[in-house]
Amino acid sequence: MSVPLSPTTRSTLTRKKDRAARDRADLYGVLDEALVCHVGLVLHGSPVVLPTGYGRDGDTLYFHGSTGSGNLRAAASRVDVCVTVTILDGIVYARSLNNHSMNYRCAVIHGRARPVTEAAEKLHGLRVVTDHLAPGSWEHAREVSAKELAAVSVLALDLAEASVKVRSGEPIDEPEDLEHGTAWAGVLPVHTTFGAPAPATYVPADMPLPAHVTERGNGVSPEPVR
Amino acid sequence: MSVPLSPTTRSTLTRKKDRAARDRADLYGVLDEALVCHVGLVLHGSPVVLPTGYGRDGDTLYFHGSTGSGNLRAAASRVDVCVTVTILDGIVYARSLNNHSMNYRCAVIHGRARPVTEAAEKLHGLRVVTDHLAPGSWEHAREVSAKELAAVSVLALDLAEASVKVRSGEPIDEPEDLEHGTAWAGVLPVHTTFGAPAPATYVPADMPLPAHVTERGNGVSPEPVR
């Protein structure tokens, strides 16, 4: 069943409304494929935008950082935040310079982040982030100690107020350029891919690469549907 | 000659100061390699973060959009903006979950964008953006008409107040994990690459791909120095 996105004033597109995705599934798709989000908040009167990792569990976005981070402390203080996740799918070459564009999928979430303080949910939030960024590591690596857990801040952001904007497909040229234009037009796809894993110097040379690392080699960015 | 970045309060890192890059060359490197920036501003009291293309000319960042865009109009009204450009270089797997990290390079620019209104500089700004996103198109595609130029907003942002943060290299594990740990640790590189160009349906089937498009096939993201 497709659950519509909640269009508040902030989350309603004012331009290119035809590019608005309508379904929660579109939101989940963008969030689950990308690796990094950009968190925006107002600090001492000025906007600040910083990248961070995240993970999604249902309609909750978890992200985390050090308790020593001023920006994270600000984000945890129940101020408005805007979390934006962008996937660039292609460079769109048109016959006219003016119709050059980019294919992308972009999710924008508005809300107030909730600091996760209860130990069990904090661990759960860390697991959600780990499963997103380094799937398999939660089972493979040394677990989080109580001391380490205390030194990390975990924030939860509800995905209630969100919008997704998508541009896909070929260039859109002017009628005059379609008729008389001679320039090449088309899409140059952009992919995010993983390279060959590089073991740390302190890992024994004969240690085989674990499957959860090698299995990512296929890449995270499947050919976008055009 | 290396020109230091200008450390105002906003552009001085408060954490992980060892990750601060010191040179303008680092700033230029990040801006010239990435394709998309995230622009943050305060709109009706709330932070808003949106992706857009850009280009750099010396110490000026140009970006553009439709005159119909409310967010762009707001950005052009001399309010504070924060422009962040992030390149993800790798997923860092440590022996402990807590030391998992990401390798990245991130440039953060604070300032007030200047609306470019004079026609010659407006065209120049568009050229800078085009040369960054679709190099070669300025010479190849149909030029911008006077009407099209009037319908586009071009903004210029001075790169005076900027910081660059970099995390590179292998994981950093705790002494106890170095000694007793058994988990794999290392870096899984992340790359941005271009796929095979897909011509628009209205381009003649026998039209050869122009060199400025095929030459990008080598990818934009060289193996990061570790």
* Residue A120, domain member (yes or no): yes
| A42 inside domain | yes
Q: Is residue B192 part of a domain?
A: yes
Residue with tokens 């797997």: B93
Contact A128, A140 (CB under 8 A): no
Among chain A residues, the shortest Cα distance to B135 is held by A93
Task: Note down pLDDT in tens along chain B; length 226 residues.
Answer: 345 566 676 766 666 666 666 789 999 999 999 999 999 999 988 999 999 999 999 999 999 876 667 777 888 888 899 999 999 999 999 999 999 999 999 999 999 999 999 999 999 999 999 999 999 999 999 999 999 999 999 999 999 999 999 999 999 999 999 999 999 999 999 999 999 999 999 999 999 999 999 988 654 443 333 3
Task: Please check whether residue B106 touches A, CB under 8 A.
Answer: yes
Of A15, A191, A199, the CB nearest to B68: A15
- In the three-class reduction of DSSP (H, G, I as helix; E, B as strand; rest coil), residue A66 is classed as strand
* Residue A217 in this model has a pLDDT that exceeds 50: yes
Tokens of B113: 């964008």
Report the CATH number at residue B126. Answer: 2.30.110.10
Summarised one tens digit per residue, pLDDT across range A10-43 is 766 666 666 666 789 999 999 999 999 999 999 9
For residue B95, what are the β-bridge partners? none
Q: Is the dihedral of CA B57, B58, B63, B67 positive or negative?
A: negative
Q: Mind listing the pLDDT tens digit for each residue in A40-78?
A: 999 988 999 999 999 999 999 999 876 667 777 888 888
B107 touches chain A (CB under 8 A): no
pLDDT (0 to 100) of residue B19: 66
Comparing CA positions, the residue from B1, B5, B3 lying closest to residue B164 is B5
Is residue B142 a part of any domain in this protein?
yes
Q: Which of A19-28, A83-92, A106-115, B122-131 has the lowest mean pLDDT?
A: A19-28
ipTM: 0.90
- Distance (Å, whole) CA B106 – CA A87: 17
Residue A101 · residue A114 · CB < 8 Å: no
Residue A3 lies in a domain: no
Q: Is B190 on the interface with A (CB under 8 A)?
A: yes
- pLDDT value, residue B226: 35
| Domain span holding position A24 | 17-218
To 10 degrees, the CA torsion angle through A175, A176, A179, A185?
Answer: -80
Would you say residue A1 lies in a domain? no
Asked if residue B156 belongs to a domain, the reply is yes
Query: Which residues 111-130 in chain A show a CB within 8 A of chain B?
Result: 126, 130
Q: How many domains does chain A have?
A: 1
A193 domain-assigned = yes
Candidates A94, A170, A221; CA nearest to B134 is: A94
Q: Does A207 touch chain B (CB under 8 A)?
A: yes
Predicted local distance difference test score (pLDDT) of residue A225: 34
